[in-house]
Amino acid sequence: MATSPSASERAPVYDFDYVADPAILADVHQGYWQLKQNAPSVFWTPRNGGHWVVTTADAGIEVLRHPDRFSSRFLSIPPDPNQQKMIPESLDPPEHRAYRQLLRPFFESKAIEPLEPRIEQWAEEIIGAVAAKGECEFVEELGSRFPISVFMELFGFPLDQFDLFRSTVVEFFKVGTDQTQRMQLGGRIVGILAGLYAERRAEPRDDLISTLVHIDFEGRKLRDDELISIGFLMFLAGLDTVVNALAFGMRHLAHDQALRTRLIDDPDSAPAIVEELMRRYTFVSVPRYVAQDTEIGGVTMRAGDSVLVPLAVVGWDEKLTECPAEVRLDRPHCRHAAFGSGVHTCLGIHLARLEMIKFYQVWARRIGHFREVEGVPLRFRGGSVQALEALHLAWDARN
Using CB under 6 A as the criterion, which residues of the chain lie in contact with ligand HEM when the complex forms? 72, 88-89, 100, 151, 233-234, 237-238, 241-242, 245, 284, 286, 311, 338-340, 344, 346-348, 351-352
Sign (positive or negative) of CA dihedral 218, 223, 225, 229:
positive
Under a CB-based contact definition with an 8 Å cutoff, are residues 74 and 289 in contact?
yes
Give the residue with the Cβ less far from ligand HEM, 19 or 373: 19
Other residues' Cβ atoms within 10 Å of the Cβ of residue 258? 9
Q: What is the largest CA-CA distance in the chain?
A: 71
Dist. CA 357–CA 300, nearest whole Å: 42
Residue number, nearest CB to ligand HEM: 348
Task: Tell me which residue of 47, 54, 71, 48 sits closest to 316, measured CA to CA.
Answer: 54
CB 241 to ligand HEM: min, Å: 3
**Shortest CB 4 distance to ligand HEM, Å:** 26
Nearer of residues 146 and 395 to ligand HEM, judged by Cβ: 146
C-beta of 138 vs 339, nearer to ligand HEM? 339
As measured in angstroms, the least distance from the Cβ of 15 to ligand HEM is 25
Return the number of the residue (54 or 338) whose C-beta is nearest ligand HEM: 338
Return the number of the residue (284 or 334) whose C-beta is nearest ligand HEM.
284
Least distance between ligand HEM and beta carbon 115 (Å): 11
Nearest Cα to Cα of residue 349 among 113, 117, 107: 107
Which residues, 6 or more positions from 8, have their beta carbon under 8 angstroms from its beta carbon? none
Shortest reach from residue 65's CB to ligand HEM, in Å: 11
CB of 7 to ligand HEM, least distance (A): 28
Compute the distance between CA of residue 57 and CA of residue 71 in angstroms, rounded to an integer.
19
Q: Nearer to ligand HEM by C-beta: 136 or 284? A: 284
What's the CA gap between 70 and 322, in Å, rounded? 30
Give least dist CB 86 to ligand HEM, A.
8
CB 192 within 8 A of CB 90: no
Q: Select 212 or 351, whichever has its Cβ closest to ligand HEM.
A: 351
How far is the first Cα of the chain from the last one, in angstroms, to the nearest whole number? Answer: 71
Residues 6+ apart with CB under 8 A from 198: none
